[in-house]
Structure 1
Amino acid sequence: MKEGPDIARLAALIGDPARANMLSALMGGRALTASELAAEAGVTLPTASSHLAKLCEGGLASPRRQGRHKYFSLASDEVARVLEGLMGLAAGHGHLRSRPGPRDPALRKARVCYNHLAGDLGTRMFDSLMARGLIGRGGDDLALTPAGRAFVADFGIDLSALDAGKTRLCRECLDWSERRSHLAGSLGRAILGRIEDLGWARRDRQTRIVAFTPDGETRFLERFCPAPD
């Protein structure tokens, strides 16, 4: 018998089309009911329940009860990073599923990757933070520089609360559509939350799209992607 991590089991869980659709739906960061996930997967509710039981048993999803309702979400940030990496790999090899209409350009421009900003605006923000020395790299790790901490605090984010959390502050996440990095970790989550609190953008409840208002996009670009001097 071979020893070591059983990647075949996890691959089989993700590889089923219905379960893959459910996991993709949960990448929006919202907890969803079995009925909602059944609709996303195009299967009946009993079939969806069976798939969800396997995903929970395999550590990819987790259930949560709120009153009379039972919701499901991704089990961890680590699961989200693996799924986003697989999306990038699939896109890079031409394994794409296209939806007609205006959704594709909007998804590529700005969307939620589990709990942080992805898409063109997400990667542009990451590149700018790195280029301006607000985030530094030490080997494979990312960290806010002193200038970066001042920048983030000025944006209205409580860094002391983030520092006290268990999630790493800055993480690099490969963007499946741009094939470049965007910012994950507790800071990425906090920045997206602050953008929403300011009314610059809102998440589309039916998709992963982050829709910026014209004024919100202008303010976002001025702060996070300023033109070089």
Structure 2
Amino acid sequence: MKEGPDIAHIAALIGDPARANMLTALMSGKALTATELAGEAGISAQTASTHLAKLSEGGLVVTRKQGRHKYSTLANDGVAHLLESLMGIAAKSGHLRTRTGPKDAALRKARVCYNHLAGDMGTHMYDSLMQRGLILHDETDLSLTQTGATFVSEFGIDLDTLQRNRAPLCRDCLDWSERRAHLAGSVGRAMLSRMIDLGWARRLENSRVIRFSSSGEAAFAKHFPL
């Protein structure tokens, strides 16, 4: 008998079209009900609950009860990273779902990838940080340089608190629409939160879209020049 992780089981869980749509919806980082996920997948709420049970057993989602409703989220950052990587591979190989219109353009410009900034503005920020020597990529890891740590702190992020957490500070994540890296990890998460706190941008309700104001885009371009 072969030993080691059973990737076929995880692949089968993700590979079902309905479950794939549900997992993609959870990439918003929000907790959603079975009814909401059923709408995303185009299935009944009862069928969605069955799929959620399988995803929970497989360690891909976590479901919690609050009041009369049960809410599901992705189990952890690792699952989100896996899904975004799969999206990137699918896009690179030409396997794209047909969806045109303003929402698609907005998603490609700026969206939340679980908890950090993705899309054109996400890869722009990553490229700016890399070109200016604020982050450094070696053979195995992505890290903040000393200059980068100063920049992050001056941007209003408590780096000492982030460093006390177990999560990696910086991690690159393959962007499915840009097919290049954007910044994940606790610094990536804190960057997006800070931009929202500063009023540069806001998350659209029931969407992964991040909408920057005109003044927010100007401030973004000033802080992350290319």
Q: TM-score, normalised by structure 2?
A: 0.97
State the number of aligned residues: 226
Residue matched to 1:91:
91
Question: Following TM superposition, by how much is the alpha carbon of 1:103 offset from its aligned partner in structure 2, in angstroms?
Answer: 1.3
1:24 and 2:24 correspond = yes
Residue matched to 2:202:
202
Counterparts of 1:36-115 in structure 2, within 5 Å, are: 36-115=36-115
Question: Following TM superposition, by how much is the alpha carbon of 1:68 offset from its aligned partner in structure 2, in angstroms?
Answer: 3.0
CA distance, structure 2, for counterparts of residue 180 and residue 45 of structure 1: 36
Question: Following TM superposition, by how much is the alpha carbon of 1:72 offset from its aligned partner in structure 2, in angstroms?
Answer: 0.4
CA distance, structure 2, for counterparts of residue 170 and residue 3 of structure 1: 32
* Cα RMSD (Å): 1.0
Residue matched to 1:151:
151
Counterparts of 1:121-136 in structure 2, within 5 Å, are: 121-136=121-136
Is the Cα–Cα contact under 8 Å of residues 98 and 104 in structure 1 kept in the other structure?
Answer: no
The unaligned stretches of length 5 or more in structure 2 are none
CA distance, structure 1, for counterparts of residue 136 and residue 87 of structure 2: 26
Partner amino acid, structure 2, of 1:202: R
Residue matched to 2:217:
217
Residue matched to 2:169:
169
The unaligned stretches of length 5 or more in structure 1 are none
CA distance, structure 1, for counterparts of residue 205 and residue 62 of structure 2: 21
Question: Following TM superposition, by how much is the alpha carbon of 1:223 offset from its aligned partner in structure 2, in angstroms?
Answer: 0.3
Task: String of CA shifts for 1:7-32, please: whole Å, max 9, x gaps.
Answer: 11111100111100000000011111
1:187 and 2:175 correspond = no
Question: Following TM superposition, by how much is the alpha carbon of 1:3 offset from its aligned partner in structure 2, in angstroms?
Answer: 2.0
Question: Following TM superposition, by how much is the alpha carbon of 1:77 offset from its aligned partner in structure 2, in angstroms?
Answer: 0.6
Q: TM-score, normalised by structure 1?
A: 0.96
Among all aligned residue pairs of Structure 1 and Structure 2, give the percentage whose two residues are the same amino acid.
Answer: 65
Partner amino acid, structure 2, of 1:10: I
CA distance, structure 2, for counterparts of residue 19 and residue 137 of structure 1: 34
Partner amino acid, structure 2, of 1:69: H
Residue matched to 1:34:
34
Counterparts of 1:4-19 in structure 2, within 5 Å, are: 4-19=4-19
Structure 1 counterpart SS, 2:94: coil
CA distance, structure 1, for counterparts of residue 146 and residue 70 of structure 2: 43
CA distance, structure 2, for counterparts of residue 68 and residue 221 of structure 1: 45
CA distance, structure 1, for counterparts of residue 100 and residue 137 of structure 2: 39
